Structures are given as structure tokens and as C-alpha cells.
Chains A and B, each alone.
Chain A
Amino acid sequence: MKFVVCMKQVPMASELPWDPKTRTLRRDLAEGMMNPACKQALELALGLGQKEGAQVTAITMGPPMAEEILREAIAMGAHRGLLITDPALAGSDTYATSFTLARAIEIFCPDFDLILTGCHTTDSETAQVGPQLAEELGIASAAYVDEVTVEGGTARLRRVSDGFLETLEIDLPCLVTVNTTNRSPRYVPLSGLEDAFGEVNILSVGVADLGIDPALVGADGSPTRIVDVTAPRSGKENVVLTGAPKKIVEELLERFESRISGLIRQDIRKSDAR
């Protein structure tokens, strides 16, 4: 069997500053890391791959430094890596990204059985690339999956949805986006890291290698426009009630009556009436 894991390098710090002018994250300020949900997808692929004797290919699209997470994936047990990197891809939204990933998979992993992605990334949280990639490839998909087993030509999936445990079956080839629960990704063995920088199969390709019209990718090929990004504000406002006690109680009830449970409310009203 052949598994493909699509992964993204994200900034390590979760509370990164963002640039108010460009409305993007200041990625230059952070070390990169493998997106946690992608690591979960890789762990699921490696575990299932060991059982099924599958070859696992790790794919990422990003700047040249994204090669790092492919090396990490190989150190953890992936068999080969594909780095899609090209200045023309800068600014790609989820649509352009899934389009590019699909073309790369068609060329370099055409006979895949299962594609696994993280359910979302910590830097943009759209959760769109996985399902969009399935659409691009014309295959079935399921999102937020916890467990995958393979029997014959069918993948059996389990996920928690709206408080229910769902068991689904999908014909292979298919795509699943993997949830971040229930799994502890393996640590990177140091001998694996030594191997990952030895004779390993990491292919680096650009837009030309994929036969893609550059106008269809990158910022130009991305229909999404970020209108505004703001940091959510949290805070409490102090209101000091003044006046006679009766007036204060009335005002309190006015503000909070709906939140005070029935019996207490009745008591207050009774004493108020007296």
C-alpha cells in the first residue's frame, strides 16, 4: 500500500506577533515546526503503515526551510519526502495550495491508497486544505478522523461527531484529515535523525516540474482576500453601582435576573415585596 501524508511547517510559538500592515503572521520571528495535527496524521500513517507494510511519503509545500519537517518525518519513519517549493507559490490560499498538492500527487504518487492530512494548522486554522485536496483529486474524504483501519479496498474510520462516535467506511483511494486527540506522536529517535540526513529520498520540485501555469497559484491564483485580522480582546469592565441598597438590588436584578436560578430569584422577589 502507499500512504501520502501532507504536512505543513508552522511557526513554533503560538502567540506570534502579526504584522498589522500585511495582516499576516511575522513568520520570520519564529522557528518552524511540524504542525501538531500533521504530526498526528504522520503518526497514524506510520502506525497503520507498519501494520499494512505501506510505503509512507511525506509531502510539504512551503519555503525551502520546510525541508526540515520532511527530514523530521523521515527520522520518525517515513520512507521518502517531496518538497514543493517555488517563489511563485508564495501567498497561495487554501484553494491554490490544494490545487498544487493535487497536481504533485498526480505526478509523483499517482498510485496512492490513502492520503492523510492534519485536520487543521495552528497558524491559519482554516481546516480547508484536506477536503479541498480530495475534491481536486476527485476522491472521497472524511474530516476530523480519530482512527483508521484498512480492510481490503476499504478504509474504516472512527470519529467523534456532535457527541456521537461515528464509524464510517470509505473505498480506497481516499483522504482523511486526522484529529489531534487520542494519539501521542512518537519521539524522534536520534539514529533516525542521523539516517534522515544520510542517503534519503527527498525530491524538491517547483511549479515548472508540476506543469502548472504560475498564474493559477500563489497570490495571483488565490481567490481569498484577507480583509482584516484582529487579535481578539478579552477583558472585564468594572461597573460600580451606587445609591440606596434598594436601588442597587433592583439594578442588579435588572442586569442579572435571567442568570439567577428560579428559587433564589423567588426569594429575592419575596423579600423585595416585603
Chain B
Amino acid sequence: MRLDPCMKHKLVRKAVREFAEAELGPIAHDIDRDARFPWEVVEKMRPLNFFGLQVSRDFGGAGLDSISYAIAVEEISRISGAMGLCVTVHNSVGAYPIERFGTEDQKRRFLPRLASGESIGAFCLTEANAGSDASGVETIAVDAGECFVLNGTKIFVTNGGVCSLPLVFAVSDPSDPTGSSCVFVVEKTMPGFSVGEMEDLCGMRANPVSSIFLEDVRVPRENLIGGIGDGTKIALATLDTGRIGIAAQAVGIAQAAFEAAVKYSKERQQFKRPISSFQSIQNMIADMAVSIDAARLLVYRVCAVRDAGGRFGKEAAMAKLYASTICSEVASKAVQIHGGYGYSKEYDVERYFRDAKVTEIYEGTSEIQRMVISRWVLSESM
């Protein structure tokens, strides 16, 4: 068992870090303040395969293993949580379901567009009455022969304002939501598809999270991923993968907060000494270091299990639960170490603090992760 990263993974980290620090570093603060999606950076990310991290080479992706994928998401998130979010959602829940469950024709039609970043992906599951409970989905897909007619409203769609090829989760028979669940690839240009106002969120402000409205959207039958009734299965498998990305994102945000706190604690003088010389600060720094390391190892473990072809639902939930929990804790401690300055929007730790919280909420809340983990544990121990 080797726990040190191999040469390839070290180089992936260096390559992504170099890009993120140079291109996102100077604007990360401003795009958060202005709630602006940085298309100019997306333009530069496209040829570097950031939008096809795990899409196979045949369809124009980089074909990376899961650990490389997690490292890439972590390093982008270390600089900008919102752009880390864009990349992980696009890759893990936008492109991956097509790669995993799509037909050859669907892969050929959609994956090159997603992998090149020409089209940004999204995953539209959450509704006013559905989120943690996927069976509450009310968006309806009526079979009209050559096409399905979709009607419904999706909320809190990450990448909502910029996506052009989202996946939409629906039911074809409201009386049997699980048995009739289904997933469609929808084109932004289809008549009846529209995007609502951008949400005014606490964090991840550079990501245009929005509602999506579907009004008599006629989606060709060949855009149905899997079959009718496969929706829940696809959603759950997709969310398992998505959780790896969010866990990696949480590690990246925590790492950024940690680095800022360590640097500041050495610079800030009180009582004629740097505050890092005080035991109370040292204790916080030690706890932060341990928890980030542990979270990162949990992320790499689930990636290793996934790459080996094993079932990784429990490991993904554990990594996501732990990484998001410590992300909030670390960001909170980083603010505490910065004192009043940490509470100011001038300092990046304030942004990390806001960005951190949502990692405990999306892609399955911490409560849902605990439910998933306990189910696995209880069924395994029988």
C-alpha cells in the first residue's frame, strides 16, 4: 500500500495548481464579490481538458483516473471554490452519466461537446419538493412517440445560468415516481427551456446557480439516457461519483483556509510575538492539519476503490461527509485566527468560510451521507 502520490499525480497537481494560481488567483476575490462567471478563464480551461477530465480519450476527454480528477478539483477549489464547483459538477454529474449509461450514439453526440467545454453541463434534480428525496420529483415527461414532452421547474441548478447541455431528471408517471423515473439530455436551445434569475447565495457566488423552467419542452426520444424507470438508479450512481468531487472540493477550500491561517499566524504580532507562538493558535493549526490530511486520504481511498472497479458508495459518502464537515470547521478556525480581519471581506478567509458551508449541503446533505453510511454498515454487519 503506497500513500505517497506517484509522479503522475504530483504532476497533475503541479499543472492544475500552476494554472489555477495564475489564471484564477488574481480574479477569485473579484468574481465572488461581483457574482461573475469568468468566461475568459473557461476559454483557457477548454484546451487543457478541464471539462473532460474523466471523459474517455475517444470522445475528446483527458481520460484521467479518479485520483487525478480529485486532485484537479481540489487544486481549482483551493483558489476558487465556485470554479471548482463548475468543473466538478460539469464532469461528475454532467458528463459522467452519459459516459456510464449512454448509448454509443449518445456518447458520440454529446461527449465531445462536453469534453471540449463547448457546452457546459449541469444536473437538474432538485425541485421545490424534491432534493434529498429523489422520489418527490414532479417534473413530468409525457411520452409523445418520437419525443417526450417535459414540464416542470428545477431549482438550485449549479451551472444553471451557463449550461447548454443539462441532464434533467423527471418522472413519466406521477403515481409511480420511482418506477417511471428517467433522465434526459436537454439542449438549452430547445423551445420552452428557460433559465430563471441567478440565486443570491451566501457562497459559491461566481457560479451562476439558478432555477430552470421546462414548459412543453419536446425532447427527442434518443436523448433519453437509459430507459424509463432507470432515473433513480442513474441519479444515485451519479451522486456517488459527484460526492467524490464535492469531497475533493471541500479539501481544496479547507487547504486554502489552512494556508491563509498559517501564514497570517506567523505574521500577526500581539504582545510582541507572532500569534503562532501561542499554544491556543498552535492547537488550532494542529487540528486543522490533521483533519485536512485525514479528509484527503479518505478522498484518495474512495478514488482508489472506484478506479479498481469496486463499489464505492459508502466510501464516497464517508469522504464527502468528513471532508465537508472539516472544511467548515477549518474555515471557521481560519477566520478565528484572523480575528477581526477574518470577518472582513478584504480577506479571502471570509470567502472560504462562506464557500465551505454549502459543501455540507449539496450533493447530499451530511444527514443523507450518514443515512447512506449507516445503511451500508448495518447491511454489511448482518
Q: List 7 A-B contacts (CB under 8 A).
A: A31-B14, A72-B14, A75-B11, A189-B47, A189-B49, A190-B53, A194-B64
Are B15 and A194 touching (Cβ within 8 A)?
no
In the complex, chain B residues whose CB is within 8 Å of the CB of A33: 14
Most buried by A among B52, B57, B61, B62: B62
Are A191 and B63 touching (Cβ within 8 A)?
Answer: yes
Give chain A interface residues in 90-148, CB to chain B under 8 Å.
Answer: none
B372 within 8 A of A: no
Does A68 belong to the interface (CB within 8 Å)?
yes
Query: Roughly how many angstroms separate A123 CA and B304 CA in the complex, as a whole number?
Result: 37
Interface pair B11/A72, CB less than 8 Å apart: yes
Answer yes or no: A168 CB below 8 A from chain B CBs.
Answer: no
**B64 / chain A contacts, CB cutoff of 8 Å:** 190, 194
Enumerate chain A residues within 8 angstroms of B10, measured Cβ to Cβ: 31, 68
B7: CB under 8 A from chain A? yes
B19 touches A193 (CB 8 A): no
Interface residues of B in 5-19 (CB under 8 A from A): 7-8, 10-12, 14-16, 18-19
Q: Which residue of B lies closest to A185 (CB)?
A: B18
B100 to chain A, nearest CB (A): 19
Interface size class of B (residues with CB under 8 A): 20 to 34
Which of under 10, 10 to 19, 20 to 34, or 35 or more describes the interface residues of A?
Answer: 10 to 19
Q: Nearest-CB distance from B2 to chain A (Å)? A: 16
Chain A residue nearest to B52 in the complex (CB): A191
Interface of A: prevailing SS: helix
Give the contacting residue for B19; candidates A187, A191, A194, A197; CB below 8 A: A187
Contact of B49 among A31, A68, A191 (CB under 8 A): A191
Q: Is A67 an interface residue (CB 8 A)?
A: yes
Contact B63–A187 (Cβ < 8 Å): no
CB pair A191 B61 closer than 8 Å = yes
Chain A residues with Cβ under 8 A from B123's Cβ? none
Q: Which residues of B contact A190 (CB under 8 A)?
A: 12, 15-16, 48-50, 53, 62, 64, 68, 72
A189, B19: Cα distance in complex, Å: 10
- Chain B residue contacts of A188, Cβ below 8 A: 11, 14-15, 18, 48
Task: Tell me the minimal C-beta distance from B310 to chain A in angstroms.
Answer: 22
Cβ–Cβ contact A68 & B7, under 8 A? yes
Residues of A33-76 contacting chain B, CB below 8 A: 33, 65, 67-68, 71-72, 75
In the bound complex, CA of A55 to CA of B161 (Å):
44
Q: How far is the CA of A191 from the CA of B116 in the complex (A)?
A: 11
Q: Is the CB of B7 within 8 A of A67?
A: yes
Decide: A194 and B7 in contact? CB cutoff 8 A. no
Q: Which of B7, B53, B57, B72 sits near A71, CB closer than 8 Å?
A: B7
Contacts of A65 in B (CB 8 A): 7
Bound Cα distance from A194 to B50, whole angstroms: 13
CB-CB nearest 4 A-B residue pairs: A188-B15, A190-B62, A191-B62, A190-B49
A65 vs B11: C-alpha distance when bound (angstroms) = 12
| A190-B72 Cα distance, complex, nearest whole Å | 9
Query: In angstroms, how far is the closest chain A Cβ from the Cβ of B78?
Result: 16
Residues of B within 8 A of A68 (CB): 7, 10-11
